[in-house]
Structure 1
Amino acid sequence: MNVEKFIAARKAAGMSQKELSEGICTQATLSRFENNGQVPSLKILIKLCNRINLPLVDLFSSINVVNSQLDEQLEKAEFSLITSEFEQLAQILEKIDPKTIKDADLRARYYYLKGFEMVFSQAPFTDVLFHFDQLLMSKTTDTVFQLLAYTGIGIAYAREAELEKAEVYFDKVFSEIYTYPIQTTEDIWRVLNIVFHCGVFYAQTNDLETSNALLNYAIAICSENHLTYYLARAAAQLAKNAQAAGEPASVILELIQDALAFAKINKNRLLINELNQMKKQL
């Protein structure tokens, strides 16, 4: 609720708290509303707004509209992340000033997306860490954002070839991600992001057993929820793991073909090109 707008309207009407509250409510009730955001009953609020000629809807609309628009932008940004459209992700986030974001969950969502955008755009290591630190310091109560921060920091360390440090963060995630309750579509996207990148990391450290288990878990989540976006990437990483394990060419080719089919559905051009190169090298 936009209390500041209410206060501005009262002052514009030239009324003190005592004058405005007279005959409607106690001055203490009005004071608690203006100073602490304690909203009085709807009947009282309507009378107060009418006295200062402030439409009640104005108290609700501005912040909610801003949050709604921001949520829509961030949803587009998050979809760009899961489809690996990193340039589009950067363009969307470039138009958002995090200093203007008041809602804790929206701010956390911004920093999670910005952190991953910086990882995939090869931004300086310290800049990546800064954005994930902002995410860890956010006041959101949704624990998935903490797990996303750990995942992002792990990826950043892995790209610096600091695999032991990276493993500290991936182990934190690994111990908790299987029990995280998936309730919304956004939860699915975020859990898949985490599980997939954990799978990629453990492949990088040649722990193919753990990597395959995580990637197959990602595929199971996709299948259960009828999603294809991480399906192609997980299947592609399984093909790479099979290649690293020295599996027969026929097994690797079957995995590549599966990944290609999913990648074509998603129109993931980068992955399609990468998989075709893998086929040629068999």
Structure 2
Amino acid sequence: MSDQLLTIGQRVKRHRAERGMSQVELAEGVCSPQTVSLLETDKHTPSADILRCLAEKLEIPLHEMMRNRESELEVKLQVEVLKIYTEQKAYDQALELIAEIDLRDYLPEHDKTQVNLLRAECWMRTKRVQEALDLLVQLKDQLEAERVWDDQFMASFYNKLGNAYYFEANPIFAHLNYLRALELSKKHPESQLQVAEISFNLGTVCSWLGFYHDANEYLSDALEVFDRISDTKRLAYTYFTFGVLHKNLNEFEKAESYLQKALALYRSHNLVDMSHLVRQQFAKSILAGQDANRAILELLDCVREFKNSGDSRRVIQTYAHIASLYIEENRLDDAVKCLVAGVEIAETASMKNDPMYGYLNQVYAKFFLRDQKFEYAIEYSLQAAELYVSSGLLRESADCWQICAEAHRKLGRTEQAFAMFEKVANTLRRAQENINVEDRRFLH
């Protein structure tokens, strides 16, 4: 019989038989053998958690076990299966199941809210960020008006809304929602993992915004929990984020130590994409200061890997890193090739409003400054600064105005250069004031 025609129970039975397992062996540590028997004879469908555990023992994804049979489940079980699909990053299958659930004549309000949150999560992870954000903002108004959800649920919601803003490259609003999520989650000491996850997100966005003191504290809190519960995947990403943080602080020995720890854990879990991300960070942050040519070769290899995985954002970023190194080495012909390649990808991927495109323009401005094409250096530095400002990235915008000021100075425009240098100083002062405001939250 075609697998498409098999029931869920028949699929379980087939996979079990193919692996030479008895019902008792499959049930061990999961449920009773009777539950497996009732499932295989289509007399009972157990909980979503039991189905997930059985799929894991059979070494197949849950969606492979369920394929095209989700519509036969009760709505409560459909929603639970949907949660598991999302946790397992099976976003396409999750969206298909959401379409099935949407066809239901009646869905309780509680379940409808859960489905919409999971819909937003899937959209975020499948590059439909604006749709996800619109849905979550609409839900925010509804949830705050109803006031029927507990603190842990609302903490989870604000964390998800923070993620949507983060993916939309809006770190200011991401930061505000993460703060709200952390405040609510800390009311329940038993939810340590939730607190750690939100603390990690806060640490990441604080590092992006230049709030380095806060970033260090939030990441340290997350690291302590992930280490204590031996969550090695989250631990690896926290090591990586600490590496980036210490690089930004010019503490290169600490940065290298954290990045090497992250790389070792990613390789032990065979997380190839993340290991390439660590290699990229190590090459541009550490290796570039030791051997620029080796760093360039390593980054070119990262470009190939990011292209293979379809990560356009990382490809653009890495091309900009390489171009920056070429500029430092005065290899301007090689630099411009990388910049042109980055722009082509950004335009194809419609990323002209992404801060990563701002970084590309910033490196272009550095290129024109070195090539003594000062008008172009001014044009590109201002474009980059404008994009950074709209994303709340003050330090990065100050770096761009510094290039603009230097270009004006080279052209003999003393007044314009002075005005730009003054803008740099004011912007850095504002960035420091933001950090000081953040620090006040720790006063009793």
Normalised by the size of structure 2, how large is the TM-score?
Answer: 0.43
Task: Give the structure 2 partner of residue 95 of structure 1.
Answer: 221
- Code of the residue aligned with 1:144 in structure 2: it is D
- Code of the residue aligned with 1:117 in structure 2: it is L
CA shift, 1:70, in A, is: 4.3
From 206, 224, 228, the equivalent of 2:354 is: 228
CA separation in 2, counterparts of 1:222 and 1:100?
41
Task: Give the structure 1 partner of residue 256 of structure 2.
Answer: 129
Q: Residues 218 and 230 of structure 1 are in contact (CA less than 8 Å); yes or no, is this contact kept in structure 2?
A: no
From 203, 207, 211, the equivalent of 2:327 is: 203
- Code of the residue aligned with 1:239 in structure 2: it is A
CA shift, 1:78, in A, is: 3.8
Q: Residues 78 and 113 of structure 1 are in contact (CA less than 8 Å); yes or no, is this contact kept in structure 2?
A: yes
From 142, 145, 152, the equivalent of 2:271 is: 142
Task: Give the structure 1 partner of residue 88 of structure 2.
Answer: none
Would the alpha carbon gap of residues 86 and 194 (structure 1) be closer, same or farther in structure 2, given more than 3 Å must change? farther
CA deviation string 1:204-226 (max 9, x = no partner): 22233333343444445555254
CA shift, 1:124, in A, is: 4.5
Would the alpha carbon gap of residues 205 and 101 (structure 1) be closer, same or farther in structure 2, given more than 3 Å must change? farther
For structure 2, the residue ranges without an aligned partner over 5 or more in a row are 1-22, 37-45, 51-79, 85-190, 409-444
Task: Give the structure 2 partner of residue 175 of structure 1.
Answer: 301
- Code of the residue aligned with 1:111 in structure 2: it is Y
Q: Residues 77 and 92 of structure 1 are in contact (CA less than 8 Å); yes or no, is this contact kept in structure 2?
A: yes
Counterpart of 1:95 in 2: which secondary structure?
A: helix
- Code of the residue aligned with 1:211 in structure 2: it is A
Tell me whether 1:212 sits opposite 2:341 in the alignment: no
Compare relative contact order (CA 8 Å, sep 6+) and give the higher one, 1 or 2. Answer: 1
Q: Residues 112 and 149 of structure 1 are in contact (CA less than 8 Å); yes or no, is this contact kept in structure 2?
A: yes
- Code of the residue aligned with 2:380 in structure 1: it is L
Counterpart of 2:405 in 1: which secondary structure?
A: helix
Aligned alpha-carbon RMSD (Å): 3.8
Would the alpha carbon gap of residues 225 and 29 (structure 1) be closer, same or farther in structure 2, given more than 3 Å must change? same
Q: How does 1:47-196 map to 2 (within 5 A)?
A: 70-83=196-209, 85-96=211-222, 97=224, 98-100=226-228, 102-125=230-253, 127-138=254-265, 139-158=268-287, 161-162=289-290, 164=291, 166-180=292-306, 181-182=308-309, 190-196=314-320
Residues matched between the structures, number: 230
CA separation in 2, counterparts of 1:272 and 1:121?
18
Would the alpha carbon gap of residues 194 and 111 (structure 1) be closer, same or farther in structure 2, given more than 3 Å must change? farther
CA separation in 2, counterparts of 1:75 and 1:240?
32
Q: Residues 83 and 229 of structure 1 are in contact (CA less than 8 Å); yes or no, is this contact kept in structure 2?
A: no
Would the alpha carbon gap of residues 208 and 148 (structure 1) be closer, same or farther in structure 2, given more than 3 Å must change? farther
CA shift, 1:196, in A, is: 3.6
CA shift, 1:276, in A, is: 2.6
CA shift, 1:235, in A, is: 0.9
CA shift, 1:135, in A, is: 1.6
CA separation in 2, counterparts of 1:118 and 1:245?
32
Q: Residues 358 and 384 of structure 2 are in contact (CA less than 8 Å); yes or no, is this contact kept in structure 1?
A: yes
Q: Residues 196 and 221 of structure 2 are in contact (CA less than 8 Å); yes or no, is this contact kept in structure 1?
A: no
CA shift, 1:197, in A, is: 2.9
CA separation in 1, counterparts of 2:314 and 2:193?
20
CA separation in 1, counterparts of 2:264 and 2:302?
19
CA deviation string 1:226-251 (max 9, x = no partner): 4522222221111011111222x222
Q: How does 1:38-49 map to 2 (within 5 A)?
A: 39-40=30-31, 43=35
Tell me whether 1:259 sits opposite 2:259 in the alignment: no
- Code of the residue aligned with 1:92 in structure 2: it is Y
Q: Residues 108 and 145 of structure 1 are in contact (CA less than 8 Å); yes or no, is this contact kept in structure 2?
A: no
Q: Residues 112 and 148 of structure 1 are in contact (CA less than 8 Å); yes or no, is this contact kept in structure 2?
A: no
Normalised by the size of structure 1, how large is the TM-score?
Answer: 0.64
Percent identity over the alignment? Answer: 11
Would the alpha carbon gap of residues 120 and 133 (structure 1) be closer, same or farther in structure 2, given more than 3 Å must change? same
- Code of the residue aligned with 1:244 in structure 2: it is R
Would the alpha carbon gap of residues 176 and 149 (structure 1) be closer, same or farther in structure 2, given more than 3 Å must change? closer
Counterpart of 1:178 in 2: which secondary structure?
A: helix
Counterpart of 2:360 in 1: which secondary structure?
A: helix
CA separation in 2, counterparts of 1:88 and 1:209?
41
Tell me whether 1:245 sits opposite 2:374 in the alignment: no
